[in-house]
Structure 1
Amino acid sequence: MGVPMSVEGEFPPSGQAPRRHLWPIPPEGGYTVEDLYRLPDLPAHTELIDGSLVFMSPQSLFHAMTVDALNIRLRELAPAEYWVSREMTTVLDEQNAPEPDLLVVHADSVQGLDQTRFEPSDVVLAVEVVSPSSRSRDRDTKPLKYARAGIPHYWRVEKENDRPVVHVFELEPSTGAYVATGIFREELKVSVPFPVAVDLTDIATPPRRT
């Protein structure tokens, strides 16, 4: 499918004169993964959900610190047969290519530094840290699609009293749906997809000002 034409529009920043921007016109039937990789000048970390382009809002400090901390800890704990990555496009089907905040993939699926995507069969665990703008996608849309694609494990991280709370889900093969296996507030401690122990009380704590 070719790159769609664009339509000119205006969106003025607060207190400033309008400036011109070219918005792409969605093709009939919605965008595809091919469009996601061919459309010029898309914002960083654009996702494709049900044929629609989803642009990421600016992330909060809580989101950044939580992703960073979990990324470091999972990399420390992951066995050699797994690879931990953050914010990589995962192509579920022709019209769905989300970008989980964190992924654990089979190490042999990592093909090189120019790689830009993973397939569902590559992914062992997908992790989403919930933001206000992504709440419905992270709670409803994405886990449904990850489960249908056969990704065995899903973690959803919520902010509760300024601390991360991790909701852990595992794929039930007979139903093809996720089942909740635990909610962790003080310490995240699981045995699958590999043994993990993370002190959650020490995450997302900004440095104290003196």
Structure 2
Amino acid sequence: MTTPQQGPATEDNWMFPSANGWTFGQVKHLELPFDWELVDGVIAARGQTNVWHNEVRDGIADALKAVRAQPYRVLNEQCVMLDEQNVVKPDVIVYDPRKLDFFEAECIPTARLALVVEVVSPGSRRDDRVSKPAQFAEAKVPCYWRVELDRDRRLAVHEYWLNADTLSYIPAPLHPVHHGKLVTELPFPVEIDLEAIVGF
């Protein structure tokens, strides 16, 4: 079912986009009882995450903040605009704040991103492994990390670099998967004790 698209979405009609779908400008003001992303003009609820997911997300963000190089900054759960009809909230981003209006910016444009980190949970496997890497690669984001919890409850960080010719990600040549400790030079020199993040 669709309704004519006239002006901003409301709490009563957000679930009925027109054939053209919503834009971020039409939905950004909504106060809905759940966290959401805009996917191809449709509001999609974000799944509930558990404690380990949030501990890992925050632990990686804290580690990146501790070693970040200028001019980069690190944020959790910040909306990123792929285009007007696709606005997502990665678990962690590293971005370049230069040329952004610090006080007015609502979303980080993909052109400012250096790294996207997604922590995989049961409800996000396909998105984090397939859909989002494809979207961020097409948007030319240089680095993508996918964080998984192995069967033995150890962290595995899959590191990907952008192939600029194909606009797709390739496994990082030296260490495509990190266990125990993550050591990389991109987007800046980073060393993260993965065992410590889940060692509680």
- Same fold, judged at TM 0.5 (above): yes
Q: Is the 8 A contact 2:8 2:27 kept in 1?
A: no
Query: After the TM superposition, which residues 54-73 of structure 1 pair with which residues of structure 2 at under 5 Å, given as runs?
Result: 54-73=44-63
Query: After the TM superposition, which residues 1-210 of structure 1 pair with which residues of structure 2 at under 5 Å, given as runs?
Result: 2-4=7-9, 24-38=15-29, 40-43=30-33, 45-160=35-150, 161-181=152-172, 182-206=176-200
Deviations 1:13-60 (A, max 9, x none): xxxxxxxxx86322222222223313x213454111222222122211
Q: Is the 8 A contact 2:11 2:31 kept in 1?
A: no
Unpaired runs of 5+ in structure 2? 1-5
Deviations 1:147-175 (A, max 9, x none): 11111111111111222210111111111
Q: Distance in 2 between matches of 1:115 and 1:44?
A: 22
Greater Rg over alpha carbons, structure: 1
Deviations 1:109-132 (A, max 9, x none): 553255321101111101111111
Q: Is the 8 A contact 1:4 1:27 kept in 2?
A: no
Cα RMSD over matched residues?
1.9
What SS does the corresponding residue of 1:178 show, helix, strand or coil? strand
After TM superposition, give the deviation of residue 144 of structure 1 in Å: 0.4
Q: Distance in 1 between matches of 2:45 and 2:70?
A: 34
How many percent identity over aligned positions?
31
Number of aligned positions between the proteins = 191
- Structure 1 pair 110/35, CA: closer, same or farther in 2 (3 Å)? same
What SS does the corresponding residue of 2:83 show, helix, strand or coil? coil
Q: Distance in 2 between matches of 1:81 and 1:5?
A: 38
The TM-score with structure 1 as length reference comes to 0.83
Question: What letter corresponds to residue 17 of structure 2 in structure 1?
Answer: P
Question: What letter corresponds to residue 93 of structure 1 in structure 2?
Answer: D
Q: Distance in 1 between matches of 2:76 and 2:34?
A: 13
Q: Distance in 1 between matches of 2:99 and 2:36?
A: 22
